[in-house]
Amino acid sequence: MTGAESIEIFSVIRERRSVRNYTDRDVPEEGLRAIIAAGIQAPTALGLQPWRFVIVKDRALIQQVSDYCKPILIERIGEEGGAGTEEFLAALKTPVFSIFYNAPVLVLVLGAREAVSSFLDCALCAENMMLAAWALGIGSCWIGSAALVQERPDLLAALKVPDDHQIVAPLIFGYPGPLSPKPVRREPRIDWVP
Ligand SMILES: Cc1cc2nc3c(=O)[nH]c(=O)nc-3n(C[C@H](O)[C@H](O)[C@H](O)COP(=O)(O)O)c2cc1C
């Protein structure tokens, strides 16, 4: 690897942020394939590569998933509360709000249930995908709220999620509209031994 390449990866890591505002521009198939190709370079326990992917462009189906998840989220967040939830709760209560922020594409990273480390492996894959997307000028956001759809067998079938896999990372992708500032990172606590 050249020095230039290593600087490039650090700037992509540093600059990537979750995008919640998208233009209508479609993400081309080759872009999505390049993103997945980067995803599958992630390390996996025992080298199992326990993932598969569903690319959802059907806006009506994406809307249906959002419509299903919203009232459940309102109820759960309302009950549990927690730091930083007020803004999200208020957005959820807005009828036009989509938990997918009107992104043109949703990619589900599915993990094989039988694999020993499916969740961690797929999370590493997802981060590679989000970084690769950013490098291509494509924004992304992990929509953890969408995992609730696993309680709806009919939607799971429509999303082509097989019984022996679970949704680990619901990721949206699209070309960013105006960006909000990147959330500031706290100084990490680092202990050195010795
Ligand atoms: C497991 C996981 C679940 C997340 N779920 C959501 C979500 O449901 N909705 C959302 O808007 N952002 C979600 N995010 C994005 C985080 O809010 C975001 O990564 C965090 O605020 C830091 O901002 P940054 O990604 O711009 O650095 C999720 C991120 C992770 C890792």
pLDDT given for residue 14 in this prediction: 95
18 CB less than 6 Å from ligand 1? yes
* 51 alpha-carbon distance from chain centroid: 14
Name the residue of 14, 15, 18, 179 whose CB sits within 8 Å of the most ligand 1 atoms, as the mutation to test its pocket.
Answer: 18
The residues of the chain scoring below 70 in pLDDT are 1-7
142 CB less than 6 Å from ligand 1? yes
Residue carrying structure tokens 């059907």: 58
pLDDT given for residue 80 in this prediction: 81
* Lookup: tokens for 88: 């999200």
> Residue 159: what residue type?
L
pLDDT given for residue 5 in this prediction: 63
CA 45 – CA 111 distance, rounded (Å): 12
Name the residue of 94, 129, 143 whose CB sits within 8 Å of the most ligand 1 atoms, as the mutation to test its pocket.
Answer: 143
Distance from the alpha carbon of residue 5 to the mean position of ligand 1, in angstroms: 27
pLDDT given for residue 79 in this prediction: 81
Neighbours of 127 (CB within 10 A): 18
Distance from the alpha carbon of residue 123 to the mean position of ligand 1, in angstroms: 13
20 CB less than 6 Å from ligand 1? yes
CA 14 – CA 12 distance, rounded (Å): 5
